[in-house]
């Protein structure tokens, strides 16, 4: 997301890193650069040690460290925080710090980066850098975990010390061995439940698991069983970075904070829902990762289903973590299993936007991996019976766009039968998530003049018109919530398994494999995806370059 606030919002810009330190630093003001005071109404997370497995990886550089830096600038990290990076290969802590600094400086200067901060604040970076420590170790060797236990034991002094978050920024094949060795080394032992933080319960120990959480139902169940041998469900934070985006979280605000929407948010008034997550880029040199995964596994049972869950869930009694997660779990339980005729797979061929997928590095010349997936999903419950949810995602498409379009049912046309009205514009509420953030509502009005003619109009809202833009790579809220012990935005084991169960039939189809259709790079996708909706008498929302919020 862009991070430069507009001129009229300058007075609302986030606090400077030169503001006073947290109170615990007052005893030794020369010891370290000071983090800013936290914004009004917000409090720093409790002191903890963040242990990052995969400290030299791309995820750590591009997302975790920018998020940590942003939290430090906003004063939401306690001065007692320490960060231990664990990775293969010997290197000095100072070299790791320098590498991270150079990466952050590069991303900050890149206007296309989600971490476009312009220039790093040296005092804020120094505050973070002095808390960084590097540890070399093989993830599948017991020795590093013994050294880690000794180091963490040395830090466990004083009230709320000994809190640790273990972040697995590694390939999925390392999830099980790392958690197993953490458990066997006694590093996951904690007192109390910690569902609401660590007050009165002693130090907490938490694990953050990145996606992909399994590759199908069987592997997800196996991974869940393995994790629960060594940790409680309340200790496991299965992360989906889509849920860290402010515009995704605002879906709940749009639905439940506005009386105009909830009464019509049901099958009697809604015709269909479209959820789109399209990219203009290709696999960008990640062919070896993408080949066994593909667009469907990578996006549908996690990212797109999470958006579906927030759009379709019943109102929770509160925003308590379990109330929200229970409501989402009900939706995933109610998903009808997808069948062969409910999905379309595609793969980009050579086109206006570039080379074919099969010509990308580390991709098989006869690859059948889908780079595009479309699905028709039905929710078998009272609110949504008969309402189709159409999902699509893909690479090398015509536009970069993540949005949700809720189309209302057409009004009876009889009133306009004697007027020159060929068709009425569908009423559509579009929630735009990326790359611009806002909403748009399409509706009908009378065209000025003596004749009753109906024309299309729209009303739109753009976040940057009302609020100062805030540096956010999508991980800030998730890291902060994990330190607080708030699991609202994290996935629960039962929901993950329900999501995989809904798609397992198309991942492992009976008979012939589901065909993968070509589409030109830079197009809107394969023609077969258009036919999927045409059979229902519907069509995809136009996918073209430009901003449909405020054209």
pLDDT score at 285 = 86
Q: What's the whole-number mean pLDDT along residues 325-332?
A: 96
Domain boundaries, the chain: 46-210, 243-412+468-473+490-534
Classify each residue of 273-299 as buried b or exposed e, where b means 16 or more C-beta atoms within 10 Å of its C-beta: bbbbbbbbebbeeebeebbebbbbbbb
CB 530 within 8 A of CB 540: yes
pLDDT in tens, 191-220: 754 444 444 467 899 999 998 899 999 999
Q: Which residue has the higher pLDDT, 181 or 546?
A: 181
Q: Which of 122-136, 244-258, 410-424 has the lowest mean pLDDT?
A: 410-424
Q: Which residue has the higher pLDDT, 3 or 191?
A: 191
Q: What's the whole-number mean pLDDT along residues 86-90?
A: 94
Please state the pTM of the whole predicted model. 0.88
Burial of 386 (0-12, 13-18, 19+ CB in 10 A): exposed
| CA-wise closest residue to 463 among 248, 241, 240 | 248
What backbone torsions phi and psi does residue 207 show, to the nearest 5 degrees? -120, 130
Q: What's the whole-number mean pLDDT along residues 88-103?
A: 95
- Which overall architecture, per CATH, does domain 243-412+468-473+490-534 show? 2-Layer Sandwich (3.30)
**How many angstroms separate the CA atoms of 275 and 400, rounded?**
13
Residue 292: is its pLDDT beyond 90?
yes
**How many angstroms separate the CA atoms of 539 and 45, rounded?**
47
| Cβ neighbours of residue 225 closer than 8 Å, sequence gap 6 or more | none
**How many angstroms separate the CA atoms of 371 and 476, rounded?**
29
Q: Which of 103-117, 251-265, 454-468 has the lowest mean pLDDT?
A: 103-117
Residue 10: is its pLDDT beyond 60?
no
When pLDDT is cut at 50, 70 and 90, the band that residue 371 belongs to is: very high
Residue 414: is its pLDDT beyond 70?
no
Residue 158: is its pLDDT beyond 70?
no
When pLDDT is cut at 50, 70 and 90, the band that residue 549 belongs to is: low
pLDDT score at 215 = 94
pLDDT in tens, 37-77: 444 447 899 999 999 999 999 999 999 999 999 999 999 99
pLDDT score at 197 = 42
C-beta neighbour count of 189 within 10 angstroms: 12
| Cβ neighbours of residue 499 closer than 8 Å, sequence gap 6 or more | 301, 302, 305, 332, 335
pLDDT score at 35 = 45
Q: What's the whole-number mean pLDDT along residues 411-429?
A: 76
Residue 546: is its pLDDT beyond 80?
no
| Cβ neighbours of residue 40 closer than 8 Å, sequence gap 6 or more | none
Q: What's the whole-number mean pLDDT along residues 88-98?
A: 95
| E strand map for 329-371 | 343-349
pLDDT score at 119 = 81
Q: What's the whole-number mean pLDDT along residues 231-256?
A: 91
Q: Which of 36-40, 148-152, 331-335, 440-444 has the lowest mean pLDDT?
A: 36-40
pLDDT score at 107 = 87
Q: Which of 19-28, 56-65, 295-304, 512-521 has the lowest mean pLDDT?
A: 19-28
Percentage with pLDDT > 90 across the chain? 70
| Cβ neighbours of residue 18 closer than 8 Å, sequence gap 6 or more | 34, 36, 121, 123
Q: What's the whole-number mean pLDDT along residues 270-293?
A: 94
| CA-wise closest residue to 13 among 33, 43, 36, 32 | 36
Q: What's the whole-number mean pLDDT along residues 166-171?
A: 96
Q: Which of 43-47, 98-102, 155-159, 250-254 has the lowest mean pLDDT?
A: 155-159
Start-to-end CA span in the chain (Å): 19
When pLDDT is cut at 50, 70 and 90, the band that residue 551 belongs to is: very low
pLDDT score at 40 = 43
When pLDDT is cut at 50, 70 and 90, the band that residue 493 belongs to is: very high
pLDDT score at 244 = 87
Residue 236: is its pLDDT beyond 60?
yes
When pLDDT is cut at 50, 70 and 90, the band that residue 358 belongs to is: very high
Give the homologous superfamily in CATH for domain 46-210: NAD(P)-binding Rossmann-like Domain (3.40.50.720)
Strand arrangement of the beta sheet that strand 132-136 belongs to: 132-136, 82-87, 49-53, 164-168, 205-209, 236-238
Classify each residue of 340-367 as buried b or exposed e, where b means 16 or more C-beta atoms within 10 Å of its C-beta: eebbbbbbbbeeebbebbbebeebeeeb
Q: What's the whole-number mean pLDDT along residues 504-524?
A: 96
Q: Which residues are catalytic?
A: 303
Q: What's the whole-number mean pLDDT along residues 432-457?
A: 89
Residue 489: is its pLDDT beyond 90?
yes
Q: Which residue has the higher pLDDT, 217 or 111?
A: 217
Most confident of 31-40, 199-208, 535-544: 535-544
């Amino acid at each position: 997301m862009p991070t430069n606030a507009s001129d009229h919002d300058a007075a609302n810009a986030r606090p400077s890193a030169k503001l006073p330190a947290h109170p615990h630093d007052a005893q030794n003001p020369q010891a370290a650069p000071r983090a800013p005071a936290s914004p009004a109404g917000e409090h720093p997370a409790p002191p903890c040690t963040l242990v990052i497995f995969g400290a030299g990886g791309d995820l750590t550089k591009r997302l975790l460290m920018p998020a940590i830096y942003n939290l430090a600038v906003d004063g939401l990290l306690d001065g007692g925080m320490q960060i231990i990076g664990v990775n293969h290969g010997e290197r000095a802590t100072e070299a790791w710090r320098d590498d991270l600094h150079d990466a952050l400086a590069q991303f900050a200067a890149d206007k296309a980066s989600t971490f476009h901060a312009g220039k790093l604040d040296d005092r804020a970076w120094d505050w973070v850098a002095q808390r960084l420590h590097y540890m070399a170790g093989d993830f599948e060797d017991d020795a590093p975990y013994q050294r880690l236990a000794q180091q963490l034991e040395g830090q466990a002094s004083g009230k709320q010390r000994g809190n640790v978050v273990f972040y697995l920024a590694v390939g999925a094949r390392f999830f099980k061995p790392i958690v197993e060795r953490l458990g066997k080394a006694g590093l996951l032992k904690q007192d109390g439940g910690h569902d609401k933080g660590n007050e009165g319960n002693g130090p907490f120990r938490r694990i953050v698991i990145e996606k992909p959480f399994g590759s199908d139902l069987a592997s997800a169940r196996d991974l869940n069983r393995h994790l629960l041998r060594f940790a409680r469900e309340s200790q496991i934070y299965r992360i989906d970075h889509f849920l860290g985006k402010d515009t995704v979280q605002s879906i709940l605000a749009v639905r439940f904070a506005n009386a105009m929407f909830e009464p019509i948010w049901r099958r009697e008034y809604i015709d269909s829902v479209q959820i789109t997550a399209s990219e203009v880029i290709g696999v960008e040199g990640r062919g070896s990762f993408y080949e066994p995964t593909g667009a469907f596994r990578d996006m549908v049972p996690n990212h797109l289903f999470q958006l579906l869950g927030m759009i379709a869930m019943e109102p929770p009694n509160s925003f308590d973590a379990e109330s929200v997660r229970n409501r989402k779990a009900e939706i995933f339980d109610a998903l009808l299993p997808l069948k062969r005729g409910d999905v379309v797979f595609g793969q980009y061929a050579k086109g206006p936007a570039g080379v074919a997928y099969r010509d990308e590095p580390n991709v098989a010349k006869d690859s059948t991996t889908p780079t595009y997936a479309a699905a028709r999903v039905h929710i078998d419950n009272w609110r949504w019976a008969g309402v189709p949810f159409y999902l699509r995602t893909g690479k090398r498409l015509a536009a970069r766009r993540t949005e949700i379009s809720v189309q209302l049912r057409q009004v009876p046309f009889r009133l306009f039968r004697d007027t020159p009205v060929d068709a009425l514009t569908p009423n559509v509420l579009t929630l735009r998530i990326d790359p611009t953030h806002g909403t748009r509502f399409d509706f009908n009005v009378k065209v000025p003049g003596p004749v009753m003619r109906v024309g299309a109009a729209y009303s739109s809202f753009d976040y940057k018109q009302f609020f100062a833009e805030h540096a956010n790579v999508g991980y800030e809220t998730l890291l902060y919530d994990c330190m607080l012990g708030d699991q609202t935005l994290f996935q629960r084991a039962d929901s993950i398994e329900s999501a995989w169960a809904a798609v397992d039939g198309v991942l492992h189809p009976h008979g012939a494999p589901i065909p993968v259709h070509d589409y030109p790079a830079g197009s809107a996708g394969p023609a077969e995806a258009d036919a999927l909706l045409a059979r229902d008498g519907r069509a995809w929302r136009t996918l073209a370059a430009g901003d449909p919020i405020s054209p």
